[in-house]
Amino acid sequence: MERLIFHIDVNSAFLSWESARRVSQGLPDLREIPSCVGGDPKKRTGIVVAKSIPAKKYGIQTGEPVAMALRKCPNLVIVPSDFELYDKCSRAFKAICASFAPVMESFSIDEVFLDMTGTSLIYPDPVAAAHELKSKIHRELGFTVNVGISTNKLLAKMASDFQKPDRVHTLFPDEIPEKMWPLPIRNLLFLGKASEQKLLNQGIRTIGDLARERASNVQYWLGEKTGHQLWQYARGIDDSPVKAVPDEAKGFSVETTFNDDITSIEQVFPILLEQCDVLATRMRRKDKKCNCISVTFRTLDFRNRSHQTKLENATDLTDEIYINATRLFKEFWKGQPLRLIGVALTGLTDGTYEQMSLFEDTENKERHRKLDAAMDEIRMKFGNDKITRASIMNSNARIGRKAKAQMKNENTEEQKVKGGLSIKNNATILPL
């Protein structure tokens, strides 16, 4: 049986939800005037989170400072974020979506996938069913959605991103050459900025160009795994299931949420370093090493984006993990303001086994191993807050209490202190 998948996406979610509330109160509809959801223009971190279509006509961009948006449109109506409202609207939206399908997967605060496979007796016409769902949401909740329909999640999401707002689009396999292949390569789902530039350098301008290219060439340009996956996506190939419950992670992970927007790479690096440090410490205490490192961030629209890399050799070294984490982040971050950053270590192996490479700098690796061992010992004896890397001393990178508690409570065998470190003034500061 051929699969049938819906992707439902709320149009300009934050602005739409605020607008629906205001309309119910007899106030003007923000969607019909130049308006945005944003921060205080007097603050440096105040940015445009969501904008109306009339505001877009003034050249206002999501993520730009509110002060700049006001210069483009002095009459711009600015409303603050209301996350309690967003959560309430999201729950109501997802409840309606869930009533239409046996399985629903939450993709973000304003997006879901529905597996409609086998519902032909209830909904003989998928397009009509999508219109019924869209109308029910508008009628009961007061905001609009786009619905994409296809045979897999990739194509359904690509379809929902076609013309907006308040539309139903299909992108079935036989429609790919006409509807998807002419699109610019940057429109391909999950294509990062770095990969986009590499493809552009090879003359790949459209999704169709990528689909018609030899798979071996794409793998050579982008790496074996990433290249193969993106080449398949360009051809509309995706067999990922719609999951009501996400897979349980088998590894170590930590996430940090911020009150203020993270907008520069200089802010990100200390955060990643502290996260990698705590995860590597926890992993070593369990006598494990990881084969896979992933980095996740959340933008102001509540969308999570992740990127991962497979290591040639498993590692438990903080420095190696951090180098890979920063590389991953730089490859796929496009400069959007961030509210969450996370790192995960998976593909765990027994830490007593290590495959060596003839080309490794064994002396440098051993130095980092001794440094990690010394820091682990100090933390075990005197507490996790008694030793800190100099590069994160004055940063806003503070891991959550949960992660610290996990470190504190995890038992391990003591190791000998190496490297001659000492405790001074209740804290040891190490360079990195």
How would you write 314-329 as a 3-class SS string? EECCHHHHHHHHHHHH
- What is the Cα–Cα distance from 279 to 321, expressed in whole angstroms? 9
Q: Which of 273, 259, 230 is nearest to 395 (CA)?
A: 273
111 is annotated as an active-site residue: yes
Asked if residues 421 and 388 have their Cβ atoms less than 8 Å apart, the reply is no
Determine the Cα–Cα distance for residues 16 and 166; give it in Å rounded to an integer: 12
**121-to-39, 128, 131 alpha-carbon distances in Å:** 48, 13, 17
Q: Are strands 5-10 and 111-115 parallel, antiparallel or unpaired?
A: antiparallel
Map 68-116 to HEC letters.
HHHHHCCCCEEECCCHHHHHHHHHHHHHHHHCCCCEEEEEECCEEEEEC
- Write down the catalytic residue from 2, 64, 84, 111: 111
43 residue type, one letter: K
User: In whole angstroms, what is the distance from residue 388 CA to residue 237 CA?
Assistant: 47
**93 closest CA partner among 130, 140, 49:** 140
Rounded Cα gap, residues 182 and 184, in angstroms: 7
Q: Which residues have a Cβ under 8 Å from the Cβ of 422 and sit 6 or more positions away?
A: 428
Q: Which residue has the tokens 């769902």?
A: 133
Output the CA–CA distances (angstroms, integers) from residue 391 to 52, 268, 272, 292, 429, in the order listed: 41, 12, 11, 25, 9
| Spatial contact of 284 and 351, defined as CB atoms under 8 Å apart | yes
Q: Which residues contact 432 (CB under 8 A, 6 or more apart)?
A: 273, 318, 319, 389, 390, 391
Tokens encoding 298: 């959340």
User: What is the 8-class DSSP label of residue 281?
Assistant: H
User: 192 is written with which tokens?
Assistant: 């990062």
Strand partners, 47: 65
As annotated, the active-site residues are 111
